[in-house]
Amino acid sequence: MTNEYINFMVFLENTLATFYQRIKNLARLEGARAVLEFMEVHSFEHAKIIEETRERYPRPAVRESMISDFQNNLLNNVLKKISDEKDILTVLKVLADSEESIGKLYLSMSSLLKKLAGHYVSVANQIEEIAKQEFDHRDLLLKDRERISQKINSKS
């Protein structure tokens, strides 16, 4: 999984911010200018925060080829070495050694996956934080809508 979803989220927030930037100056939306400007600022800020997760929580590189490299080595060296080996003790020692190195390979793979999981948990927490702010922004817009609605009603 690449981290392209971050690009998409940054693009989404920037698009939204630019949209707010544009509509805040429309005469027909003048009454809501302050809240629209607030939304513009915070959407740009969201884009920035999301972009910064790349540096704050760098994604550990997973070199998946380490498994195929290992397999090539196993096929080319170990199995070839024992297929003509007459001494049973040598065969068993070579097999034991290769089991041990598979174990070590899996340990490093497992530790890498745990680091990767940690990376995704950190990014997920950050995104969850932003999600909460979106709900706050919804409420803010609704509050302003209510305020304007009352103003309109009081005139009529």
- 47, with CB counted inside 10 A (0-12, 13-18, 19+), is buried
Binding site for Fe ion (CB under 5 A): 43, 46
Give the residue at shortest CB distance from Fe ion: 46
Nearer to Fe ion, 39 or 98 (CB): 39
Nearer to Fe ion, 41 or 75 (CB): 41
Nearer to Fe ion, 44 or 70 (CB): 44
Nearer to Fe ion, 11 or 106 (CB): 11
Q: Closest distance between Fe ion and the C-beta of residue 134, in Å?
A: 5
Q: Closest distance between Fe ion and the C-beta of residue 43, in Å?
A: 5
Q: Closest distance between Fe ion and the C-beta of residue 56, in Å?
A: 18
